[in-house]
Amino acid sequence: MTAERSAAAPAPEKSVRGVRRVFSVLGPGVVTGAADDDPSGIATYSIAGARFGTSLLWTAWVTWPLMAVVQMACARIGMVTGRGLAGALRQKFPRGVVAAVAVALLLANTLNVGADLAGMADAAEMLTGWDSHIFVVVFGAGIAWAIVRFRYHRIASVLKWLALVLFAYVIAAFDARPDWGAVLRAAFLPRWPSRDEWGALVAILGTTISPYLFFWQASQEVEEEKAMGRRILVRREGARPSDLADRRLDVGIGTLFSNLVMFFVILTTASTLHVHGVTRLETSREVAQALRPLAGPFAEVLYTVGIVGVGLLAIPTLAGSAAYAFAETFGWRQGLDRRFGQARWFYGVIVLSTAAGVALDFADVNPVRILFATAVVNGLLAPFLLLAILVVVTDRRVMKGQPIPTLSGVVVAVTTLLLFGAAVGMFLF
């Protein structure tokens, strides 16, 4: 018996090592995936569930592989070229073209920051009773200060732990006690969307596969390399197969987590609001207020706390990705590993974007209109940007002999076509 136990002992140890390895590789992929579920994204998924019930649950598992492959393509660019996305694009396209992309990204991200700050402030007001304008200033100033004050590893660590707040939406979905048989049928036996549902599909696709995630993912790979001491470009070029495999695991888990949250947010509002006929909602505040009488205060608190948490995670990503794009386009010193005095223009873009987002709230701009404007800019930018990424990531010279695998390239191409279709659909529905 002792010999048998001794022989079987390595199996649990191997399992423990496997779990430790998984946790050890989690990093930029998980943070980027979680940042995709920002307050405006939560609002989009919530409204889709309230209006159409469980009929769009299937989008979560359809968008997961598309998002995963696209984000891995961006990660590969950062790991192999040693540059962020804008820097890599400059190897293939004129500076003017890349600058135009950076300006469009800044515009969309600033509008998104404004919408996210408004959503966070509304949630905080519901929890405390204080005026939401106070929270807009507190959140905006606090986030900008933290990005400027703290260095990369501390920021990355905080963002990674903030991702846990997304579990609030998983708990809220189970608390709603849905009919799991109907849920599984809707998730894996989709029906052809109605005309109104096509519009929601466009919004979901645009929210899930967003340009700011492309830039953030690639730039965080560069930050990771710098943190390892590879501060000179030539030392960052090329990537070991084992490192690429680790990042695929990281990105796969991060994007899976992101899409699971989307699934459970849609499920929560479908199981509460939709079944009670509460379908005409436009903001996350209206969703949270409607949840209380139907699902109880626990679900409302989980929902509102989640809004604040995901905003703290997403806004640094939104403002930071635009800063990286500008810095690499115009050759500025950049990076969250530098102090303010060493990268004034880089941090200036972050502060400007956040301050403009705060100003939008005081200008009394309707958050729904802000989200629509963001969707328009992203919807037009994303497919062209993906096409440019495909050109870069398949170029053996730019990719130092490590281009994207053929199958992954096909998936990126399919995603590009879908986003072009979504851009057209945005004006048709």
Mean pLDDT, the chain, whole residue set = 86
Distance (Å, whole) CA 168 – CA 164: 8
| Model confidence pLDDT, tens digit, residues 214-254 | 999 999 999 989 888 888 888 899 899 999 999 999 999 99
Q: In which residue are the tokens 């870069």 written?
A: 392
Q: Where are the alpha helices (DSSP H) in 82-210?
A: 85-89, 95-128, 132-149, 152-162, 167-175, 180-188, 195-208
Beta carbons of 159 and 31 less than 8 angstroms apart: yes
- How many domains does one find in the chain? 1
More confident of the two residues 376 and 358: 358
Q: Is residue 42 part of a domain?
A: yes
Q: Is residue 14 part of a domain?
A: no
Please tell me whether the overall predicted TM-score, pTM, comes out greater than 0.75 for this model.
yes
Helix 406-428 and helix 195-208: axis angle, to 10°? Answer: 130
Q: Is residue 22 part of a domain?
A: no
Listed in sequence order, the residues at least 6 apart from 411 whose beta carbon sits closer than 8 Å to its beta carbon are 65, 66, 69, 70
Per the structure block, which two tokens stand in for 245?
């495999």
Q: Is residue 19 part of a domain?
A: no
Q: Is residue 20 part of a domain?
A: no
Q: Is the pLDDT of residue 269 over 80?
A: yes
pLDDT at 16: 56
Q: Is residue 351 part of a domain?
A: yes
Listed in sequence order, the residues at least 6 apart from 89 whose beta carbon sits closer than 8 Å to its beta carbon are 97, 98, 101, 388, 389, 392
Per the structure block, which two tokens stand in for 303?
């929902």
Q: Is residue 62 part of a domain?
A: yes
DSSP state, residue 404: P
Q: Is residue 4 part of a domain?
A: no
- Assign residue 343 the CATH number of its domain: 1.20.1740.10
Go through 287-313 and write b for each residue having 16 or more CB atoms within 10 A of its CB, e for each that does not.
bbbbbbebbeeebbbbbbebbbbbbbb
pLDDT at 21: 63
Domain ranges, residue 130: 28-428
CA atoms within 13 A on the CB side of 287: 31
